[in-house]
Amino acid sequence: MFGSSIYLRDRPAFTGGSPQAVYEELWQRGRKGRLRTRAFLAAATLVLCGLLVNAVFGIAMAVLVAVADTLVHWRIYSASRVWRLGLRGDQRMDRFLRYTLERRGHRVLHARTVPGHGIADELVVGPGGVWLVHNEAWSPGAEVSQHGGRLFIDGRTQTKLVRGVTARAEAAAEAISRAAGTPVTVTPVLAVHGGKLARTPFTADGIVFAPPLKLIRWMRRNPAADRSAEEIEAIARAAVHALPVGSHGSARAAA
């Protein structure tokens, strides 16, 4: 049939199916190839390390290589799945924050409405400052980079995106400062789900960009303040009063 691929012919998942259905099918088709590659890497490591050191060391390194290869492919699959399901990554980031910063004394508010500026995916209040986290999922092949201090996706600037995130952080800072009765600075950051990033974290248009776990690590290592537990709690309470609970679904519908 004209207009159909000779490689994907007569496969329901590839004819009008969703991107996620196509991806799941391709992922399953590539499973044997991934297992063969993993077995080859583990065997080569076993032989090499066994000859250079001893058999026990060879076995340990072979297991380590196999686990590392599995982890790399899982991360690729997880990030790609978010985009192919048409999601932005906020639920994924929620989980990461729950098992990292929230266990280290940070307060995390999820899906809060910034009046006049839509939904803040996550607002993180910690000893090192306050961050407004925005999530975006791009296709696995999309090039996410910065040139001259500006964000580019596949060679195109993203003025609307960065202005929206920056304005949301500034409006959140004003609202929280009024409620807290003290100046509070809110730093905008963006968690990148998927895409190709040459080097991260990087700063573009005044916003730090990085994959979720690297972004969380950056937030811990780059404090903008030094707040006590009492100050953290007071700012979090002010944010709860100033920024009501929102809904990503209703925000998309309104758009």
Q: Is the pLDDT of residue 27 over 80?
A: no
Side chain identity, residue 174: E
Q: Is the pLDDT of residue 74 over 50?
A: yes
Q: Which domains does the chain have, with CATH numbers?
A: 12-85 (no CATH), 90-242 (3.40.1350.10)
Instruction: Estimate the crossing angle of helix 31-52 against helix 19-29, to 10 degrees.
Output: 40
CA distances from 230 to 98, 107, 236 (A): 20, 12, 10
Q: What is the mean pLDDT of the chain?
A: 84
Give me the half-sphere count of Cα atoms (radius 13 Å) on the Cβ side of residue 170: 8
Placement of tokens 């609307």 in the chain: 160
Tell me the whole-structure pTM to 2 decimals: 0.70
The pLDDT value recorded for residue 197 is 86
pLDDT-derived band at 14, boundaries 50, 70, 90: very low
The pLDDT value recorded for residue 207 is 97
For 242, the token pair is 């100033």
Q: Is the pLDDT of residue 109 over 90?
A: yes
The pLDDT value recorded for residue 8 is 37
pLDDT-derived band at 2, boundaries 50, 70, 90: very low
The pLDDT value recorded for residue 255 is 38
The pLDDT value recorded for residue 85 is 59
> 37-71, pLDDT tens digit by residue?
889 898 999 899 988 889 899 899 999 998 988 88
Handedness of CA 125, 128, 129, 134 (dihedral sign): negative
The pLDDT value recorded for residue 174 is 98
Q: Could you tell me which residue, 76 or 156, shows the higher pLDDT? A: 156
Q: Is the pLDDT of residue 93 over 60?
A: yes
Q: Is the pLDDT of residue 180 over 70?
A: yes
> 117-169, pLDDT tens digit by residue?
999 999 999 999 999 999 999 887 889 999 999 999 999 999 999 999 999 99
The pLDDT value recorded for residue 81 is 64
The pLDDT value recorded for residue 249 is 52
Q: Is the pLDDT of residue 25 over 90?
A: no
Using alpha carbons only, what angle is made at residue 110 by residues 107 and 116, rounded to the nearest 5 degrees?
A: 115
The pLDDT value recorded for residue 84 is 61
